[in-house]
Amino acid sequence: MKTKLLITLLLLMAACQLNCRLAYFIIALQFFVPDEIVNNSSRRMFIVENHSCSMRTFFVIILLLAGGISSLTAQEITRIGVAELDEILVSPTDELHVVNFWATWCPPCVTELPYFEKLSKEYEGKGVKFILISLDFPSQIENRLIPFLDTNKITADVRVMTNIDYNSWIEKVDANWQGNIPVTLFFNNAKEIRYFHPEELEEDKLRELIIKYLQ
Q: Summarize as ranges the residues that interact with another protein (CB under 8 A).
A: 103, 105-106, 108, 135, 137-139, 164-168, 170-171, 174, 176-182, 186, 191-200, 212-213, 215
d(CA 4, CA 35): 8
Q: Are 129 and 95 in contact (CB under 8 A)?
A: yes
Q: Where are the beta strands (DSSP E) in 2-157?
A: 78-80, 96-102, 128-134
Residues 5 and 13 sit within 8 Å (Cβ to Cβ): no
Closer to another protein at the Cβ: 44 or 207? 207
Q: Which is nearer to another protein, 117 or 136 (CB)?
A: 136
Of 15 and 135, which CB lies nearer to another protein in the complex structure?
Answer: 135
Contacts of 43 (CB under 8 A, 6+ apart): 3, 49, 50
CA distances from 177 to 64, 101, 137, 169, 208 (A): 46, 11, 19, 11, 22
What residue type is assigned to position 9 of the chain?
A: L
User: Which C-beta is closer to another protein: that of 114 or that of 138?
Assistant: 138
- For residue 24, the surrounding DSSP H or E stretch is helix 20-30
| Residue 174 CB, nearest approach to another protein (Å) | 7
Distance of closest approach, residue 88 Cβ to another protein, in angstroms: 17
Q: Which is nearer to another protein, 76 or 165 (CB)?
A: 165
Nearest residue (CB) to another protein, 156 versus 183:
183
Shortest approach of another protein to residue 156 CB, angstroms?
Answer: 20
Contacts of 62 (CB under 8 A, 6+ apart): none
Of residues 18, 24, 29, the one with CA closest to residue 70: 18
CB of 35 to another protein, least distance (A): 35
CB of 185 vs another protein, minimal distance in Å: 10
Query: 200 near 111, Cβ under 8 Å?
Result: yes
CB of 3 to another protein, least distance (A): 34
